[in-house]
């Protein structure tokens, strides 16, 4: 999935109010960019970081840049746009590139289920149980090569796990899909020290039959594409 507009490099000055970031472009101009990530962004929002932003000339948008990537040493990247994983996965599902889910022909996004919730994707195919797929964007890494989720306490995430467990008990397939938006990680784990309640809910969901799948991404200033499966430890 290519970015609509070629990205340009910048330096992060500060991120604030969750959705705003002051940045310095290569020509020295300082502007405010939209940050499409309401999360903690642990380790990704330090002043002085090299980032990549997407310009736009949409007259309806007040901010003319959107923050898309963080660049790390060794030309590694992290994607910070939390809307991107669902779009990338929908593209991959439609192309049959997710081996564990390739047998499903119908992909329905944002379907109501549980208690006033929406599942990211409901997959259907004659002769197969419906598959409820919840997508989580993974961007935290505190140890070389290891990605972690979550990066902050997430009561919503724990609720999603309980609802997926209910779907599994009802005879459906229930799938938690961790998309690692980092190119420097080769495995995924649950950050139980950050959110013990989430870790407990994860264990309960697995016992109930919820499947957990993790995939990495190929990321560059040109675009983001779902890559290979990663081990979940």
Range of the domain at 94: 84-229
Domain boundary among 79, 113, 132: 79
Question: How much of the chain, in percent, has pLDDT values that exceed 90?
Answer: 94
CATH classification of the domain holding 60: 2.40.50.580
pTM, 2 dp: 0.94
Q: Note the pLDDT tens digit of each residue in 130-152.
A: 999 999 999 999 999 999 999 99
Cα–Cα distance measured from residue 177 to residue 79, given in angstroms and rounded to the nearest whole number: 16
Q: Is the pLDDT of residue 57 over 90?
A: no
For 2, half-sphere exposure in the C-beta direction (CA atoms, 13 angstrom radius) is 4
Question: How much of the chain, in percent, has pLDDT values that exceed 70?
Answer: 100
* Average pLDDT value for residue range 3-19: 96
CB neighbour list of residue 75: distance below 8 Å, 6 or more residues apart = none
Co-location of 169 and 102 in the same domain: yes
Q: Is the pLDDT of residue 185 over 80?
A: yes
Co-location of 217 and 160 in the same domain: yes
For 162, half-sphere exposure in the C-beta direction (CA atoms, 13 angstrom radius) is 13
Q: Is the pLDDT of residue 115 over 80?
A: no
């Amino acid at each position: 999935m290519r970015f609509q507009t070629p990205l340009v490099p910048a330096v992060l000055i500060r991120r604030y109010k969750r959705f705003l970031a002051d940045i310095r472009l290569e020509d020295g101009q300082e502007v405010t960019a939209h940050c499409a990530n309401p999360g903690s962004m642990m380790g990704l929002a330090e002043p002085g970081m090299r980032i990549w932003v997407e310009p736009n000339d949409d007259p309806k948008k007040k901010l003319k840049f959107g923050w898309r990537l963080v660049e790390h040493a060794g030309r590694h990247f992290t994607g910070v746009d939390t809307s991107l994983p669902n779009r990338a996965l929908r593209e991959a599902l439609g192309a049959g590139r997710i081996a564990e889910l390739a047998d499903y022909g119908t992909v329905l996004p944002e379907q109501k289920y549980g208690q006033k919730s929406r599942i990211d994707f409901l997959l259907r195919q004659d002769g197969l149980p419906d598959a409820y797929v919840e997508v989580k964007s993974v961007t935290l890494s505190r140890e070389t090569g290891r990605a972690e989720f979550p990066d902050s306490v997430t009561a919503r995430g724990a609720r999603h796990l309980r609802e997926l467990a209910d779907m599994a008990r009802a005879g459906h397939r229930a799938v938690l899909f961790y998309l690692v938006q980092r190119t420097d990680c080769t495995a995924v784990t649950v950050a139980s020290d950050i959110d013990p309640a989430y870790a407990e809910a994860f264990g309960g969901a697995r016992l109930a039959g919820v499947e957990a799948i993790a995939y990495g991404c190929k990321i560059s200033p040109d675009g983001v594409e779902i890559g290979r499966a990663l081990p979940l430890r």
